[in-house]
Amino acid sequence: MIRIALVDDEALIRAGLAALIGAEPDMEVAGQTDDGAGVPDLITRTRPDLVLMDVRMPRLDGIQATRTLTARPGAPRVLVLTTFDNDAHVWDALRAGATGFLLKRTPPEDILSAIRIAHRGDTLLFPTALRALAATRPARPTPAARAVAALTPRESQTLTLIAQGLTNTEIAHRLHLGTETVKTHVSNILTKLGARDRTQAVIAAYDSGLVRARG
């Protein structure tokens, strides 16, 4: 059973998501709150596997709430929700540790699919959307971005292909390597960058300039 916490200041959005999730045999709503400030208590009380987090809230927004949450040991994964596909706040939420993002107008079946993908530990990467978002935000010398310079040439190639949305199998084919070798490169990249998942590694790649938002 996938336990999901809902964080959104719009009661109608929370009600819709709760109804959608509640109809699934492998999911349940662990709890809800209408503001990012309530996230720490909500997580402590309900211990969800995943959080659907509105990126824009009037008191404490989803960016700071995500940053606070992902700093905790054993933190649940976070999928941020946004109304606009070019919302610059989403990039900051991804920088803060979110695994991925969804538009609130995303079809219900795709929301459920995204929840299952994230719960499995896989990463939701939308290369075109990430490139567009990156174009709205300047590169930033974060610790992870600085660590990109320490990657080996092969690791840098691998990270560039991850940013294009390629799977390990596709990267192996492109670089003429074995899949297990690619898995090792990916693991080394995540370790060197201190990244929780592939999304965080891609954010670091853009912030470092290894991958460009345009061109």
Domain boundaries, the chain: 2-124, 143-208
Among 80-84, 99-103, 133-137, 201-205, the minimum mean pLDDT is found in 133-137
Rounded to whole angstroms, the Cα distance separating 185 from 180 reads: 9
pLDDT tens string 83-95:
877 677 888 888 8
What pLDDT does residue 50 have? Answer: 95
CATH for 143-208 is 1.10.10.10
Q: Report angle CA 40, 42, 47 to the nearest 5 degrees.
A: 100
Rounded to whole angstroms, the Cα distance separating 29 from 139 reads: 37
Rounded to whole angstroms, the Cα distance separating 160 from 203 reads: 11
Rounded to whole angstroms, the Cα distance separating 122 from 120 reads: 6
Domain 2-124 is of which CATH architecture?
Answer: 3-Layer(aba) Sandwich (3.40)
Which position has the token pair 């998942």? 197
Cβ-contact 11, 37 below 8 angstroms:
no
Among 71-85, 98-112, 122-136, the minimum mean pLDDT is found in 122-136
State percent of the chain over pLDDT 90.
60
What pLDDT does residue 158 have? Answer: 97
Closest by Cα among 190, 13, 24 to 115: 24
In the predicted structure, residue 210 carries a pLDDT above the cut 70:
yes
Mean of the pLDDT values across residues 120-131? 76
